[in-house]
């Protein structure tokens, strides 16, 4: 661990994403789902918007400097937000559940649904381009959740575990396995469901931010330097 920052312990974190120096977060739960811009050093919410009470917010990623894509869990709807001001300007439909999403530099979206499969989509139409199945030593890895695209690697946290994996986006093979159970977090004080969830690459840095649902902290870590 490199540093730690305060985090809203009432935020049921589903996604974490930097765009430039701005940090955005998606939160879940029916009736309490939101999209928000947060200040890393203070943990304060700078701007936020609530989702319809019938929608359960999931992962998010920037489509471009003005548009944010946010998934929903079981509603089969992806919301397109304008970043300034935060308002919905469109949506896309998809089949199945939505969990995590990230955008590659080659203009492809990677999307998870809680299984061992990752689907690649067109970021302008949301049409499916391809898919891969994720395996570790030949065994499928399920419960793929929040995603972060990073060069040729997709980083994913595994739901209900302290594990983050690095996935080769071309083959689906797991190239890195990281454990976060040693983070300085008093887990005995955490409520039910307060599991690891949230990965964001820090711009112009080799480091990442990670957090969890209802966690009081965000941690800055290195995935390669220990």
In this predicted model, what pLDDT tens digit does every residue of 77-134 receive, in sequence order?
A: 999 999 999 999 999 999 999 999 999 987 899 999 999 999 999 999 999 999 999 9
* For the chain, percent of residues with pLDDT exceeding 70: 99
Containing structural domain, residue 40: 3-222
Question: Which pLDDT score is estimated for 48?
Answer: 97
CB environment 107-137: b (16+ within 10 A), e (fewer): ebbbbbbbbbbbbbbebeebeeeeebebeee
pTM: 0.94
Question: Which pLDDT score is estimated for 123?
Answer: 95
Question: Which pLDDT score is estimated for 226?
Answer: 47
Answer yes or no: is pLDDT of 151 > 90: no
Question: Which pLDDT score is estimated for 225?
Answer: 65
For residue 174, what are the β-bridge partners? 167
Count how many domains the chain has.
1
Here the CATH number for the domain that contains residue 27 is 2.130.10.10
Answer yes or no: is pLDDT of 201 > 90: yes
């Amino acid at each position: 661990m490199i540093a730690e920052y305060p985090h809203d312990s009432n935020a049921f974190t589903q996604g974490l994403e930097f765009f430039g120096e701005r940090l955005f977060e998606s939160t879940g739960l029916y009736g309490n789902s939101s999209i928000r811009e947060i200040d890393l050093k203070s943990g304060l919410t700078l701007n936020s918007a609530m989702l319809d009470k019938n929608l359960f917010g999931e992962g998010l990623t920037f489509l471009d400097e003005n548009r944010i894509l946010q998934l929903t869990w079981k509603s089969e709807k992806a919301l397109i937000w304008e970043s300034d001001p935060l308002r919905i300007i469109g949506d896309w439909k998809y089949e199945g559940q939505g969990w995590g999403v990230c955008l590659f530099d080659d203009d492809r979206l990677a999307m998870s649904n809680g299984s061992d499969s990752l689907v690649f989509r067109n970021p302008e139409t949301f049409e499916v381009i391809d898919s891969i199945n994720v395996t570790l030593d030949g065994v499928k890895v399920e419960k793929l959740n929040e995603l972060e695209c990073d060069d040729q690697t997709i980083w994913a946290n595994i739901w209900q575990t302290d594990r983050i994996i690095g996935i080769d986006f071309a083959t689906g093979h797991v190239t890195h396995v990281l454990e976060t159970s040693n983070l300085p977090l008093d887990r005995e004080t955490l409520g039910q469901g307060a599991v690891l969830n949230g990965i964001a690459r820090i711009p112009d840095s080799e480091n990442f931010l990670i957090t969890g649902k209802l966690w009081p902290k965000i941690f800055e870590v290195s995935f390669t330097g220990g």
